[in-house]
Amino acid sequence: MAFSLPRAASQAVLLAALLPWAGAQAQVQAGPGAWSANQTWATDTVNGGALTGYYYWPATNPTLAGKRALVLVLHGCAQTAAGDVINATSDGGYNWKGVADQYGAVILAPNATGNLYGSHCWDWAKSTHSRSTGHSGILLDLINRFVSNPQYAIDPKQVYVAGLSSGGAQTMVMGCLAPDIFAGIGINAGPPPGVTTLQIGAVPSGYTATTAANNCKNLAGANASGFTTQVAGVIWGTNDYTVAQGYGPLDAAAMRIVYGGTYTKGATTTVATGGSNIPYTDANGKLRTSEITVTGMGHAWPAGTGGQNSNYVDATKVNYPAFVMDFWFKTNLRVAQVAPPAMTSCSASVSGSTVTVNGAATGTIGSYQVVLNGPTPVNDAAAGSGASFSKAYTGRADGYYSGSVTATDSGTGLTSAACSISQFLVGSQPRSRNQDGQQHRPQLERVERRHRLQRLPQRQQGQRQRHHGDKLYRYRPGGGDQLQLSGVRGRQRRRGERALGVGQRQHELRFRVHRDDVQQLCPRAGRARPRQRRLCPGQWLEPEHGSGQHLLYGHAGADLGRLLHHRQLPVSAWVQDLTGALAPVFFALTFLDRPNPLLARFIHHASLTLSSV
Residue 48's region, left for phi above 0, alpha for psi from -120 to 50, else beta, is left
Output the pLDDT for position 546: 34
Indicate the DSSP class of residue 73.
Answer: E
Residue 89: pLDDT over 60? yes
Range with lowest mean pLDDT among 185-189, 303-307, 429-433, 440-444: 440-444
364 domain residue, yes or no: yes
Annotated catalytic sites, by residue?
165
Output the pLDDT for position 338: 74
Q: Which of 426, 448, 468 is the last residue of a domain?
A: 426
Count other C-beta atoms under 10 Å from residue 536's C-beta: 15
Residue 171: pLDDT over 70? yes
Residue, of 587 and 426, whose pLDDT is higher? 426
The DSSP H or E segment spanning 507 is strand 505-514
Return phi, psi of residue 118, to 5°. Answer: 70, 10
Is there a single domain that holds both residue 260 and residue 140? yes
Residue 149: pLDDT over 60? yes
Output the pLDDT for position 343: 96
Residue 600's region, left for phi above 0, alpha for psi from -120 to 50, else beta, is alpha
Q: How many domains does the chain have?
A: 3
Is there a single domain that holds both residue 365 and residue 220? no
Output the pLDDT for position 431: 52
Radius of gyration of the chain from its Cα atoms, rounded to whole angstroms: 36
Is there a single domain that holds both residue 165 and residue 47? yes
45 domain residue, yes or no: yes
Residue, of 605 and 415, whose pLDDT is higher? 415
Residue 25: pLDDT over 70? no
4 domain residue, yes or no: no
Q: Which of 331, 355, 389 is the last residue of a domain?
A: 331
Alpha helices (H) in 318-416, listed in sequence order: 320-331
Output the pLDDT for position 336: 83
Mean pLDDT of the chain: 75
Highest mean pLDDT among 13-22, 26-35, 268-277, 478-487: 268-277
Q: Give the integer Cα–Cα distance in Å for 210 and 213.
A: 5
Using one digit for the tens of pLDDT, what is the confidence trace for 374-398? Answer: 999 999 999 999 999 999 999 999 9
The angle at the Cα of 190, spanning 186 to 195, to the nearest 5 degrees, equals 135
Alpha helices (H) in 22-112, listed in sequence order: 97-103
Are 201 and 243 within 8 A, CB to CB? yes
Residue 563: pLDDT over 60? no
The DSSP H or E segment spanning 605 is helix 597-611
pLDDT level of residue 68 (50, 70, 90 thresholds): very high
Using one digit for the tens of pLDDT, what is the confidence trace for 326-379? Answer: 999 999 999 987 778 999 999 999 999 999 999 999 989 999 999 999 999 999
Q: Above pLDDT 90, what percent of the chain?
A: 61
pLDDT level of residue 606 (50, 70, 90 thresholds): very low
Is there a single domain that holds both residue 367 and residue 478? no
Residue, of 478 and 217, whose pLDDT is higher? 217
Is there a single domain that holds both residue 185 and residue 299? yes
Q: Pick from 581, 578, 607, 580: which is nearest to 511 by CA?
A: 578
Is there a single domain that holds both residue 283 and residue 377? no
417 domain residue, yes or no: yes
pLDDT level of residue 409 (50, 70, 90 thresholds): confident
Q: Pick from 233, 311, 241, 308: which is nearest to 275 by CA?
A: 233
Residue 302: pLDDT over 80? yes
pLDDT level of residue 16 (50, 70, 90 thresholds): very low
8 domain residue, yes or no: no
Q: Above pLDDT 70, what percent of the chain?
A: 65
Is there a single domain that holds both residue 75 and residue 208? yes
pLDDT level of residue 141 (50, 70, 90 thresholds): very high
Q: Which of 331, 359, 389 is the last residue of a domain?
A: 331
Residue, of 229 and 66, whose pLDDT is higher? 229
Max CA distance (Å), the chain: 117
Output the pLDDT for position 163: 98
Using one digit for the tens of pLDDT, what is the confidence trace for 36-62? Answer: 999 999 999 999 999 999 999 999 999
Cα distances (Å, whole numbers) of residue 479 to 475, 503, 589:
12, 9, 15
2 domain residue, yes or no: no
Q: The whole model's pTM is what?
A: 0.59
Domain that holds residue 168: 31-331
Residue 15: which residues within 8 A CB-CB, separation 6 or more? 180
User: Domain with 231 in it: what CATH number?
Assistant: 3.40.50.1820
Q: Give the integer Cα–Cα distance in Å for 28 and 21.
A: 16
SS3 539: strand
9 domain residue, yes or no: no
Output the pLDDT for position 496: 44
Residue, of 454 and 200, whose pLDDT is higher? 200
Residue 556: pLDDT over 70? no
Q: Give the integer Cα–Cα distance in Å for 102 and 63.
A: 8
Are 76 and 312 within 8 A, CB to CB? yes
Are 248 and 234 within 8 A, CB to CB? yes
Is there a single domain that holds both residue 276 and residue 411? no
Residue 483: pLDDT over 50? no
